[in-house]
Amino acid sequence: MSTLKQFPEVPSIDFFTHAGGILKNPLPFHQKNFNKLGDTFRLNLGFGNSVVFSRDPDFAIYALRDNQKNFRKTEIQTKDLAKYVGHGLLTSEGESWKAQRKLIQPAFHRKNLYTLLDLMVEAIDKELERIVVNKVIDIFPIFNDLAFKVVVKSLFGDAINSKEISRLQHITEETQKMLVKELRQPYKKWWFLLSGELKRNLQLSQDARELLSGIIKRRQRSSSEGNDLLDMLMALTDEEGSKMNEEQLIDEILILFIAGHETTSNALSFTVQLIGQNQNVQDDLYSEIQKLEGKSYFEILKESEFTQHVIEESMRLFPPVYFIDRQNIEADEFKGYEIPKHTTLLFSVHQIHRSKSNWQNPSEFNPKRFAESRSVSDFYFPFGAGPRKCIGNNFAMYEITLALHQLLKKYKIEEAKPEIEIQPLISLKPKNAFVKFSKR
């Protein structure tokens, strides 16, 4: 007879009673259960299904790093997301993932990303021209377009036209909305099928694949190099000298759209709001930017230490990836608790980043905490942890740093409202991200 403890459980009736609120924003429901039951609990979803939620950073490290071989991604990514974006690095598992990671890793080495900096800044500057001064505006739509176009520009250079960009952005956003519905309302699966809503969104994904196929074929026929990520990806070879086929290329490109634009636009929007609320931080940022005037983008990235701390602190308070999912392959245990085989685990990055056990004054926006202590890796997960840590973390940090540099050179940010609102979807999105800009 097992002496292992069972995780405290939230009954299914609670889940169904709060289903409407969970659909809009699940975080208050989860926080209430964390406060009541402790750092880890099981949520009974009914019909024999359950999910274990945890804000224990030690548990997260155990699953993501220390015993990662016994934990795989759940069907949320390997099946639900994969049906829209294919089996790229984010959604693949096992040997397939290992081979893809080894193949793709060189494209995201710092030295290769440095070749994309001019393309990044070109896209950033073009979108920042849309900012209207001396008027309260929602900054998220601008940053959403900015981040998408930085990814597109870095991937394709000038090999894609504005109509294709708009179509890809529309498809990416529509299919993500559909995925949120499927995950938050599993009891409506039959309706999504019968109504044709699921079929329509799957067709949108196929449309995106066909559009990308056309871009790849144009590049293959071209005699000139694009000096972009597409060229890098097309040139990569495995140990046997084989290159990615078209389907693999498209899978990885779709993953880059998902992982590379939404999380960055969210982080930028939250960061700018926080800077507007903290003028002393903005002054220190501007001082750093002035000192770097005239330097290369490479030097700017290398020497923007305070800017990096500001971004890190923003992603602590508002982590774009606010949950990390895993499922154990074999039965396991942690801290005396039983983890039956194939238990679905969701680690709340949002809660871990705001825990008083891990951070001093966790609700306070204090970028200097990252300058004072670098030993935060065991309770700081903006890009995940372990072997499956986001491969694009450097790309994202470079983009956000350069965007803030270009923005604050021209504009001063003013607070428009005291509260920062959130909209938890696939990623943690801002809501009503109102700020005001004035010319410097």
Residues forming beta bridges with residue 326, ordered by sequence position: 345
Phi, psi of 331 (to 5 degrees): -55, 145
Residue 4: inside a domain, yes or no? no
Residue-level pLDDT at 422? 95
Residues forming beta bridges with residue 54, ordered by sequence position: 40, 347
Percent pLDDT > 90 in the chain is: 60
Residue-level pLDDT at 165? 86
Residue 365: inside a domain, yes or no? yes
Higher pLDDT, 136 or 101: 136
Residue-level pLDDT at 274? 98
pLDDT tens digits, one per residue of 307-349: 999 999 999 999 999 999 999 999 999 999 999 999 999 999 9
DSSP string, 137-183: EE-HHHHHHHHHHHHHHHHHTTSS-HHHHHHHHHHHHHHHHHHHHHH
Pairing of the two strands 40-46 and 49-54: antiparallel
Residue-level pLDDT at 243? 86
Residue-level pLDDT at 226? 66
Higher pLDDT, 353 or 177: 353
Residue-level pLDDT at 230? 87
Residue-level pLDDT at 260? 75
What rounded mean pLDDT belongs to the chain? 91
pLDDT tens digits, one per residue of 81-113: 889 888 988 889 888 888 888 888 888 888 888
Q: Indicate if the pLDDT at residue 234 is higher than 70.
A: yes
Hey, is 50 helix, strand or coil?
Answer: strand
Hey, is 239 helix, strand or coil?
Answer: coil
Please report which confidence band the pLDDT of residue 284 belongs to, taking 50, 70 and 90 as the band edges: very high
When pLDDT is averaged across residues 40-68 and rounded to a whole number, the result is: 93
Residue 1: inside a domain, yes or no? no
Higher pLDDT, 414 or 161: 414
Residue 239: inside a domain, yes or no? yes
Q: Indicate if the pLDDT at residue 350 is higher than 80.
A: yes
Q: Indicate if the pLDDT at residue 160 is higher than 70.
A: yes
pLDDT tens digits, one per residue of 399-438: 999 999 999 999 999 999 999 999 998 889 999 999 999 9
Residue 122: inside a domain, yes or no? yes
Q: d(Cα 282, Cα 307) in Å, to the nearest integer?
A: 10
Residue-level pLDDT at 212? 92
Residue-level pLDDT at 129? 94
Please report which confidence band the pLDDT of residue 189 belongs to, taking 50, 70 and 90 as the band edges: confident
Please report which confidence band the pLDDT of residue 2 belongs to, taking 50, 70 and 90 as the band edges: low
Pairing of the two strands 421-424 and 136-138: unpaired
What strand order describes the sheet that includes 71-72?
9-10, 40-46, 49-54, 344-348, 323-328, 71-72
Q: Indicate if the pLDDT at residue 1 is higher than 60.
A: no
Residue-level pLDDT at 240? 80
Residue 334: inside a domain, yes or no? yes
Residue-level pLDDT at 48? 82
Measure Cα distances from 133 to 103, 213, 270 in Å. 45, 40, 19
pLDDT tens digits, one per residue of 138-153: 999 999 999 999 998 8
CATH (domain of 23): 1.10.630.10
Higher pLDDT, 257 or 166: 166
Radius of gyration of the chain (CA): 22
Residue 92: inside a domain, yes or no? yes
Residue-level pLDDT at 254? 86
Q: Indicate if the pLDDT at residue 131 is higher than 60.
A: yes
Domain that residue 430 falls in: 9-439
CB 434 within 8 A of CB 416: yes
pLDDT tens digits, one per residue of 354-396: 999 889 999 999 999 998 766 677 899 999 999 999 888 999 9
Please report which confidence band the pLDDT of residue 158 belongs to, taking 50, 70 and 90 as the band edges: confident
- Residue 361: which region, alpha, beta or left (left: phi > 0; alpha: psi -120 to 50)? left
Instruction: Count the Cβ atoms, other than its own, within 10 Å of residue 432.
Output: 14
Residue-level pLDDT at 411? 97
When pLDDT is averaged across residues 191-195 and rounded to a whole number, the result is: 91
When pLDDT is averaged across residues 267-291 and rounded to a whole number, the result is: 97
Domain count, the chain: 1
Residue 145: inside a domain, yes or no? yes
Residue-level pLDDT at 204? 92
Question: What's 284's DSSP letter?
Answer: H
